[in-house]
Structure 1
Amino acid sequence: MKLVKSLLLGSAAGLVAVAGASAADLGVKKPSAVEYVKTCPTYGAGFFVVPGTTSCLKLIGRVRADYIFNNDTNRQADKNTFRARGYLGYDHRTATEYGLLRTYVRAYIARDNAGAYAPVLEYAFIQFGGLTVGRVTPVFEHGWNPNFIGSGSIGGHSDISYVNSIGYTFNFGGGFSATVALDSANERRTNLVGTGYGGQALPDVVGKLAYDAAWGSVFVAGAVHQLRDGIKGAAGTFASTKYGYAGTVGAKFNIPMLAKGSNLWLNASVADGASSYTGFGATGTVGGYTVTFSDATWVAASNSLRTTRTWAITGGLQAYVTPTVWVQLAGSYAVHDAFGANNTVRASTIVGTVGWTPVAGFLIGGEVAYRSLSGRTAGVGAPLVVTNALSGNDKNDWTGRIRFQRDF
């Protein structure tokens, strides 16, 4: 019996040894430790380290629902709009010996009532040190106004929110910076009345000086815009190419003694042959009246372009009633003075906004905006076209809006 037991134990030990040798021969490795995703606090909340790299990534999303009501006198226009937008994007950053390398993308799809789905690319840019290339917020734009109407106002701040651009920012320290950029000129065109724009030959050249401090910020900016027609006149020649310009100055003052986050901002802009920079796009509609604006007017007698002069003043006060509730009152007044007699149009906007953030990243807001338009269309080479002649009568409308917005 003892002999049998010894044989069995010896056989088992042998099998274990053989199995161990076989496993070693097959090169079986122990499972590696799990690599968990790490946060990246260097760039703020929401960033995480991309596994296997030294880069950090943040996924971006937004859902916005707007309910808009107005007193439009055009029976074919909607008096209320139900709008939905869905945003997606990302922010990818890598520290390099040359400075920050950043890639940022954000786009959305919108749906208004029963209208078509509208995809929009808001931002798509690369930053490398001081260099920025791609689709960005225009250098000329200050971005201080938190109201909802945005480009729905006529005159005032810059007419566009995004532009394709290549620029470089010099940071001098102490809050001082300077930016030089080349922007897509096509996105800044309004109209050349009596003729039409030719192809883009030169980009817009934009420059900006800025100073940021604890008390607020101040900036001054300028731009040059080419006016180049693409239709020959009666003599079979093109009008001489001209260059428009625009300038702006603005200041923002923080008012912590009122409440943390409160501020007052002011901005003044002027342009000659570059109406978009003062908030005048190709057209504007107020109270069912659609007005066409211009950069210049073609004069047949001299086969030349006569530039349109514009200017605008905007400002606003934003105050926090509580840490999560803020109110703002903002307004603008702008003038569009085209070539010819009685071709001046005046536009004004007053906006009251209230916002509540019950949870971080979730905004519930309401807004009421009043807009007024006045002017005449008579005159040689008159550039203004309206659905119903203004004839000196003031035209106005109001708009109400309720917004729900979640950012993450």
Structure 2
Amino acid sequence: MDNLEQAQGLDSTHFDVAIVGGGMVGAAAALGLAKQGKRGVMFETHHPKAFAPEQAIDLRVSALSMASVSLLRELGGWQYIEAMRLCPYRELHTWEQPDNKLRFSAEQLGLPELGFMLENRVVQLGLWQACEQAGVTVAVGDAPQLVANNVLENKDEQVELRWQQQSITAELLVVADGGESKMREALGIGISAWDYRQRCFAINIQLDAEQQDITWQQFTPSGPRALLPLAEQHAALIWYDSAATTKRLQALSDAQLKQAIIDNFPPLPGDFTIIARAAFPLRRRHALSYHKGRAVVIGDAAHTINPLAGQGVNLGYRDVATLLTILAAQDSLRDPSAALKAFQAKRMPDNLLMQGAMDAFYLGFSNDIAPLKMLRGLGLKAAQNSGKLKDWALRYALGMPRSN
């Protein structure tokens, strides 16, 4: 990248916007702000590994909804992403008992697909390519440090950061450095937080069946089992279970793990080969405020969610879309306080609602209590037959406007 700066320092030391975190959400925010004519610098600790078609598919994947894809298309990043690899998914099934499935489909809403399964790195790489074309300066190296308290003032002063022995100033600070955000902590923004009992064990497999386009999830008392279709006849199996069970699974050979999958998952479409595996903790985080003075917190830095429905990055893109809409109406960033308050008022209720819904699913299905099991079955059957209410729920999950 011509405008990528590393340890030698930045050619310019003042920007309209400084974005801390160049992942999927931070890079989208940087790109959108550049499209509005705002000079931005994006800080990231590592450059994402370059893409090559022969590489194994990464374990870190996301399900992008059509609303997120539409945003990335509008920003000009999607063309770079789809030039690499992706997998459309057209149906979503969830169940506890096989004879009582809740099914959502793209056809239900007249769409070609519900969304796409992509590697996080592919999305990030595509957005970085678009950022380069848009003139965003990307600073790779140690994370910047917050220097001056004037970031906390709603005045004509500027944000001041220290990076590679340079003083960097900006009118606005966008914090997108993940769930364990150091910049959020430096700003003094508190969080509510807890870790879920379960861990996520991700297993990438290659199927000998045709390309899949259905993602599904079965609930069990010890945690859900899910399949995410991936490109090139691959799939990600997601196994939620206790830390002890996950540790035991990690120690198995490929042959032993394959048998454990056969014993514990619904039947897979044909034979399969294990490609890679990894375990991740499940954490819930929510910032007590999304802004402080000239700083705004977005994406995982503001909220992390149980990944049951794959809504994490999509909520981050809703943050980006809202922030861009609000800032587009600003003549300048001399006093962003009203805009940032409006952003919080718009996004916090939506994020809390989705967090609460995922927690309700998590708590409601993580048991084998007979009366609750019966109620869950009745609830899934009612949802499957709910008509327009089912359409509304799907539209909300996809970030689409309600139909009349």
- Which category describes the TM-score, using the shorter chain as reference length? under 0.3
Larger RCO, structures 1/2 (Cα 8 Å, 6+ apart)? 2
TM-score, structure 2 length as denominator?
0.21
- Give the number of the structure whose alpha-carbon radius of gyration is greater: 1
TM-score, structure 1 length as denominator?
0.20
More strand by share: 1
More helix by share: 2
